[in-house]
Structure 1
């Protein structure tokens, strides 16, 4: 599973690395509403939430599904500007102006992502123009609760009013807490953008894009960028560009905007000391390797001390070839290491790899 971006014919000058204050505000709101996704930010999130004025906190609750259950594309309005060449604004005010340039249909589609009411990467009639799509959107919103249903009814009845309400909400967030956050993280994001741009100029496309995350790979011959995620999607740059958006608060998320008709973009966490999570394929292999009862029992021995194949065969009442097959599965999953001691090969469980499985699983599904 992955999201692919067809970059056939894309020249380097149409790849832009640009921080987004509106995108970072969206990440900030997500971290506040889902601290479990960002355990390293829980103390900060608690402190900010405690300082919120009650009226602002209530308004945030009215729309938190725009950044809690999904990261709505209303936080990337540059991508919806016709021509596919726009980039994020330098200030939050500039990006809110870009939000105003979206059509009502674009805004409604992006704001209704939480209903999963349409295919994201193919053209479909929207709820403003199609009565059946409108009914379906309301049904799905109602299934999510009265708050979402009320918001959806307001949105479908008067998109400009909801857009103005959201714009004011985001400006109030800027006044209350985000301006200070942006002043702190903007230099880091700008420095990362300069570094990636220079990497693109000096080392080329593959080196620059692959440096974003271990989840991003490039096949220049095929003209495909692949982002390893637990979903399937596709998009293409066509005559437009590709925008790379660094984020300071977004880890572990690597977000790929692949909405039909919008400019593709990748939002990636800036470099840090945390190790990258394994690929979806690697994670699946590890979980499947541990799912077998025999291999679970082998891990019990291998966690305590190194053992040879013959020792394990004797302990489990199995033949050495049977043990070798199970060890091979564990080794391919990266869970067992082998080292030679004279004539003997000893196997041992990689405790650090097993200890990371929980966090790797969470990061993999949240990526």
Structure 2
């Protein structure tokens, strides 16, 4: 399985390795919402959380599905600008200006990515114009709780209001903690971007991509880039460009923006820390047996990012609910997932801390 990017006709000058303060702020919010994904950031996350005022902390929870369950493309708005060759802004303010340039339709579709109501890498109906898609988005938001239903309703009914709310929220996050964090991380990311740019100029795209991650491969004969992930998708640069954006806070997530009509982006982590030792042999045997089935591995990919109901997983995998229930039972017996009830919904989620103890290769594979 992989995400493929067709680069036929891509000019060398249309490939850029650039920094994105907004993308890093998105990763910062994700790390705060899901510290289990980022064991080396626990000290930073604890410090930031302790320093937040209650009002900002409440707002951070209000729309956390934009960065907790998925990494919303709203954090890389330059990719959605017509022409598909716009670079990120040099400052957070410039990037927020780019966010303002997205149409309401682009904004809403990207914000509702967590609902899976629309196809991601193919052309689909417009959410704001199609009542069936609107209703489906609300139904899927309902399984995440009343707070996300309320936010989704506001988003669908008044996009400009939510756009203003999000911009103000991100500016407040910058003032509260991110500006200081970015001043520390920016130098490291700039050095990595210079190194990758030098490789591009001297040795070509293949060498640059190899230095990004072993999971990223250039197939020169086929004019295609493949990113090895437990996901399938495809896009093309067309007459646009390709962006490589480094992140310090994002490990182990190797993100690929391949939304239909947007500029392709590889959002790659800088550095890969070691994780804790594996569990006992008995536990390891039980857990690895549970994970040996390809369907259960794909289920783990979804449950690592968010809690899902059995029916949602059945729809995503094209299976029946009883089939999914049997796989969930195996994973639960191995102690790999947790289950909780929210109203009439039963939600399942991967215990990332347990998976981390199995080894960094598997964890990186399902979170890539």
Query: TM-score interval w.r.t. the shorter chain?
Result: 0.7 to 0.9
Specify the alignment match of 1:306 in structure 2. Answer: none
Aligned to 1:134: 134
CA–CA separation in structure 2 for the residues paired with 1:214 and 1:273:
15
1:32-78 Cα distance to aligned partner (Å, 9 max, x none): 11000001111110111011000000000001110001000110100
Contact 2:274 2:360 in 1 (8 A): no
In structure 2, the residue matched to 1:364 is 365
Match of 1:270 in 2: 270
CA distance in 2, matches of 1:123, 1:247: 29
Separation in structure 1 between the aligned mates of residue 255 and residue 365 of structure 2, nearest angstrom: 12
Q: 1:290 to 1:46 in 2, by over 3 A?
A: closer
Counterpart in the other structure of 1:23:
23
Matched, 1:256 2:256: yes
Name the TM-score, length of structure 2 as normaliser.
Answer: 0.77
Instruction: Supply the distance in 1 between the matched residues of 2:138 and 2:21 (Cα, whole angstroms).
Output: 31
- Distance verdict in 2 for CA 1:87–1:173, change over 3 Å: same
Task: Extract unaligned runs of 5+ from structure 1.
Answer: 276-285, 293-354
Is this contact kept in 2: 1:5–1:224, CA < 8 A?
Answer: yes
Return structure 1 stretches of 4+ with deviation > 4 angstroms.
272-275, 286-292
Q: Using the alignment, how far apart are the partners of 1:11 and 1:356 within structure 2?
A: 43
Which runs of 5 or more structure 2 residues have no equivalent in the other structure? Answer: 276-286, 294-355
How far the C-alpha of 1:272 sits from its partner, in A, is: 4.9
Alpha-carbon distance in structure 2 between the residues aligned to 1:170 and 1:272: 27
**What are the equivalent positions in structure 2 for 1:1-367 lying under 5 Å apart?**
1-272=1-272, 274=274, 357-367=358-368
Shift of 1:144: 1.4
The 1-side partners of 2:247 and 2:237 are apart by 22
Q: CA deviation at 1:271?
A: 3.7
Distance 1:290 1:112, change over 3 A: closer
What SS does structure 2 have at the residue aligned with 1:211? helix
Distance 1:272 1:239 in 2: 34
Rounded Cα–Cα distance in structure 2 between residues aligned with 1:72 and 1:91: 19
Q: What secondary structure is seen at the aligned counterpart in 2 of 1:31?
A: helix
Give secondary structure in 2 for the equivalent of 1:225.
Answer: strand
Give the superposed CA RMSD: 1.9
Aligned in 2, Cα 1:138/1:356: closer, same or farther, shift over 3 Å? closer
SS at match of 2:63: helix
- The CA deviation at 1:361 is 1.7
- Structure 1 residues 287, 206: CA separation in 2 closer, same or farther (over 3 Å shift)? farther
Q: Distance in 2 between matches of 1:231 and 1:99?
A: 27
Report which of the two structures shows the higher radius of gyration computed on alpha carbons: 1
Q: 2-side partners of 1:72 and 1:84: how far apart?
A: 18
Distance across 1 between alignment mates of 2:31 and 2:6: 31
Kept in 2, the 8 Å contact 1:126–1:134? The answer is no
Q: What is the count of residue pairs matched by the alignment?
A: 295
Q: How far apart are the structure 2 equivalents of 1:241 and 1:185?
A: 26
The CA distance in 2 between the partners of 1:53 and 1:273, in whole Å, is 31
Asked whether the 8 Å contact 1:216–1:227 carries over to 2, the reply is yes
For residue 246 of structure 1, give the secondary structure of its aligned residue in structure 2.
strand
Conserved? CA contact 2:252–2:272, under 8 Å: no
Question: In the TM superposition, what whole-angstrom CA distance separates every residue of 1:311-341 from its partner, at most 9, and x where no partner exists?
Answer: xxxxxxxxxxxxxxxxxxxxxxxxxxxxxxx
Question: CA, structure 1 residues 88+290, in 2 after alignment: closer, same or farther (shift >3 Å)?
Answer: closer
Distance 2:292 2:366 in 1: 19
